[in-house]
A and B are shown apart, each in its own frame.
Chain A
Amino acid sequence: MTMTEFAASHTDTREPILKARNLVKTFGRVVGLDGVSLDLYPGEVLAVIGDNGAGKSTLIKCLTGAEIPDTGELFVSGQQVHFKRPQDARVHGIETVYQNLAVSPALDVASNLFLGREERLPGLLGSVFRMLDTKGMRTKAKQELTRLGISTLQDVTVPVENLSGGQRQAVAVARAAAFGSKVVVLDEPTAALGVRESNQVLQLVRDLRDRGLPVILISHNMPHVFDVADRIHIQRLGKCAATITPQSHTMTDAVAIMTGAATA
């Protein structure tokens, strides 16, 4: 029995929240994804690792609506979906934190949390004059931060560019995890951070999982991956080379599979 089969049989008693089957994505003559499948179960952290150009980012973009796969199927809670834009994925509760920190630096924390889903005032002010409910959004932003246990962001009126790297990442993660999302996808969340800030973000990932929110974590950093992941999906040359767990394999094994020196 291969490792992939083992992992599958180990968990297939539950319905995956997010299921991808045979995703293919090409860019001209370059094959980004070559038939990749992936399952994400409730309350787990699934890490996706792979060398540069192995298709990690393309896979994530296909899962989150940023790219449209050429062929393949996507299911959310067992229901087939077709994402054409990031909003479509958001509607289905899949929220993404991108590597380049998709926050607007000049806007404050609350505005960033509500960016693209602003709430208007009730009554005529909201419907006719389309006025934003700034106060209400700030209050809700605070509540959500408290609920998610993010203590580094107390003042939601601070422009994001005045925050440290870890705090910005916390804003991005909070936006993804807030407002009833089902899946949080984190693309290299610790790549630009220092040691202490990385640990804060990893703790945040564990907290999200402990609150029952499944997380997909894309990372280059093996210690981080082995620290928080429950399962590890290894991409190689546009395909899934193996799905392992931190218990079944060592970091050296994972690197060997990633580089093609070994198979699972």
Chain B
Amino acid sequence: MTQQQTAGPPSAGHADLAEEFLDRQTPLSRIRNILHRYPALSPAFVLLIAVVVFGILNDRFLRVENLSLITQQVAVVGTLAIAQTLIILTAGIDLSVGAVMILSSMVIAQIAVSNGIPGPLALIAGLAVGLGAGALNGFLVTRFRLPPFIVTLGTLNIFVALTLLYSGGSTVRGSAMPGVLTWLGSTFPVGPVRISTGVVMMLLLYVVVAFILGKTAWGRHVYAVGDDKEAARLAGIPVSRVLMSVYLAAGAVLAIGAWIQIGRNNAASPNAGVDLNLDSITAVVIGGTSLFGGRGSIWGSLLGALIVGVFRNGLSLAGLDVLYQTLAVGVLIIVAVSVDQWIRKVKS
């Protein structure tokens, strides 16, 4: 990107531009501009420091088994954070991600176990649930122009209730399910480490979504809609269609998250994942994606999820009470949002 800057022919206009930039450049504003351009940079920095500090505090922290455990612990939240990022990039927020995922996981498990549907078909049913939930959220947001916060607050409760009604409140154990449903809980050895297939699936999703957001017109439109909805509309972007597709994509991601969750817990439980909604928002926010939309990177959310995982794991290895982990996460959120506000002041 930077070599493009110097590639332009030197001209009077160029000097003019340079001049206008120069008189506003201080070391601090330069850092701000860089952070602005690469929003994943600050969470990467935080993660690095956290890993180093926890590594010094406790030598068990940096062992491969422990690091592998952290990735497994963040697989579900990391996946939900993908869906959450997509929606937050459009200046929305989705309070129902956890509930949709749990509903989807219960449907997958129940119809496979109680109704004897083959595993792959059960997964497709789970995908349908995710897409249906996304369609409902998207429909309410685009057609009735309700704020996403309110829509998903409502659907959160609806999906939680549906989950309990459908499952009767009972957990389905993994041992009763067809093997494909718990496949993402399995691990395979890579050298001395055991990698979980669920983690690989999550990373794969990140790669796919990062490609779509960064390299396709749809991705650019998602950013444009979140940045300035009216400007996007006037530029000829079908705003409602983009929003709808974002909610559908989020629903699909959540269905895959349900699959990962079943594997991770080796069960489908209607009461799992109460904190998952807020944890996914936390990961996205710590990852540097702006709650005001249009700004952020999907990789930042992965880093955000990892930061939360590293903090929880590192603090517990350091022998601190769970309450301090929660406290630390709270501080992280506020710092992250403050940094975002500061970065946004970049403009003249």
Contact = CB atoms under 8 A, between A and B. Distances in A.
Interface of A: 66, 85-87, 90, 96, 98, 100-107, 111, 115-118, 120, 129-132, 134, 138, 142, 151-157, 159, 161-162, 164-165, 167, 175
Interface string B35-56: 0110000000000000000000
A63 to B, nearest CB: 14
Interface stretch (B131-139, B222-230, B250-258): B222-230
A155 B4 contact: yes
* Best-surrounded residue of B5, B211, B220 (most CB of chain A within 10 A): B220
Interface in B96-110: none
A161 B224 CA distance: 13
21 contacts: A86-B233, A87-B236, A98-B231, A102-B228, A102-B234, A104-B223, A105-B294, A115-B232, A115-B235, A115-B237, A118-B220, A129-B211, A130-B217, A130-B218, A132-B216, A151-B12, A154-B13, A154-B14, A155-B4, A159-B37, A161-B346
B16 interface: yes
B33 A96 contact: no
B4 A107 contact: no
Nearest to A155: B5
A84 B211 CA distance: 33
Contacts of A90: 236
B294 A154 contact: no
Contact of B237 (A116, A130, A156): A116
Interface of B: 1, 4-5, 8, 11-14, 16-17, 20-21, 33, 36-37, 211, 215-218, 220-221, 223-224, 227-228, 230-237, 294-295, 346-348
A175 B346 CA distance: 24
B11 A151 contact: yes
Contacts of A115: 220, 224, 232, 235-237
A165 B20 CA distance: 12
Contact of A157 (B1, B223, B234): B1
A100 B231 contact: yes
A104 B223 CA distance: 9
A86 B12 contact: no
A102 B4 CA distance: 25
A132 B218 CA distance: 10
Contacts of B215: 129-132, 134
B227 A104 contact: yes
A106 B236 contact: no
Contacts of A152: 13, 16-17
Contact of B227 (A101, A107, A130): A107
Contacts of A164: 20, 348
Contact of B231 (A85, A102, A142, A159): A102
A161 B8 contact: no
A120 to B, nearest CB: 7
B347 A118 contact: no
Contacts of A86: 233-236
Given A104-B294, A154-B8, 8 more contacts: A100-B231, A104-B227, A104-B232, A106-B295, A115-B235, A118-B220, A154-B17, A155-B5
A162 B346 contact: yes
Contacts of B228: 102-105
Contact of A155 (B8, B211, B220): B8
A129 B212 CA distance: 9
